[in-house]
Amino acid sequence: MRLTNKAFILLAMIVMLAAGCNKAETATDVETVDSKAIQDVIAKAKGKVVVLNFWATWCPPCRAEIPELIEIRKKFSDSDLLLIGVSVDPGVDAVTEYMSKDVEFNYPIYFAGSDVASFFSIESIPRTLVFNTEGKKVFDKSGSFPGEMFENFIKKLLQEK
C-alpha cells in the first residue's frame, strides 16, 4: 500500500474517532484504534475533561462499571466531557456482539489496536485515565470506582478550567 493511501486511512480513522465522540451516538460497528489515534483525540479535546476507560466484555467489574459511566455521560455536556471506552477483548467480534445485545452505550466504544496495551501499560482492567481540560493526565488507576467519585472529580476539574 502506498504511503499516501496509508496516510489517508490514518487521517480518516482519526476524523471518524473524533466525530464519533458525541454522547448521542451509539454504534454496533466497533473501530480499531491505535495508541496514536487515542493520543490525538485527547490532545484535540483541550477545554474538556477526558475520561478514557479500558475494559473487556469478559470482565465482570468492567461490565458492572459501564452503567455508572453511562450515567456520568448523561450529566455533562459534550463541551465539558469526552468519555471514551476502549475494549481490550481478544477480538472485535465479542465487543460488537456485546454492544448489539447487552448495553446501549451513550459514548463511543473502540477496539484496542495491538500497541494500545503496551503503550498505556495496561496490566489489569477496568483501567481508567482522566485528563484535565489542559490535556494533562490527573488520574490513572486500575479497578472499579463508584460513579459518584468520577462525577465529583470531573466537576472539580471543570471548576478549575
Is the torsion defined by CA of 1, 18, 33, 37 positive or negative? positive
Q: State the catalytic residue, choosing from 49, 52, 59, 66.
A: 59
Answer whether the bond into residue 67 is a cis peptide, omega within 30°.
no
Between CA 118 and CA 21 the distance in angstroms is: 24
Per-position pLDDT tens, the chain of length 161: 544 433 333 333 333 333 333 333 444 578 999 999 999 999 999 999 999 999 999 999 999 999 999 999 999 999 999 999 999 999 999 999 998 887 889 999 999 999 999 999 999 999 999 999 999 999 999 999 888 999 999 999 999 97
Is 62 an annotated catalytic residue?
Answer: yes
The residue written with cell numbers 480513522 in the block is 13
Is 0.85 topped by the overall pTM? no
Between CA 137 and CA 96 the distance in angstroms is: 29
Annotate 56-89 with b (16+ C-beta within 10 A) or e (fewer): bbebeebbebbebbbebbeebeeebbbbbbbbbb
Q: State the catalytic residue, choosing from 13, 50, 52, 62.
A: 62
Kindly list the structural domains of the chain, giving each domain's residue range(s) and its CATH number in brackets, ordered by start.
Answer: 3-159 (3.40.30.10)
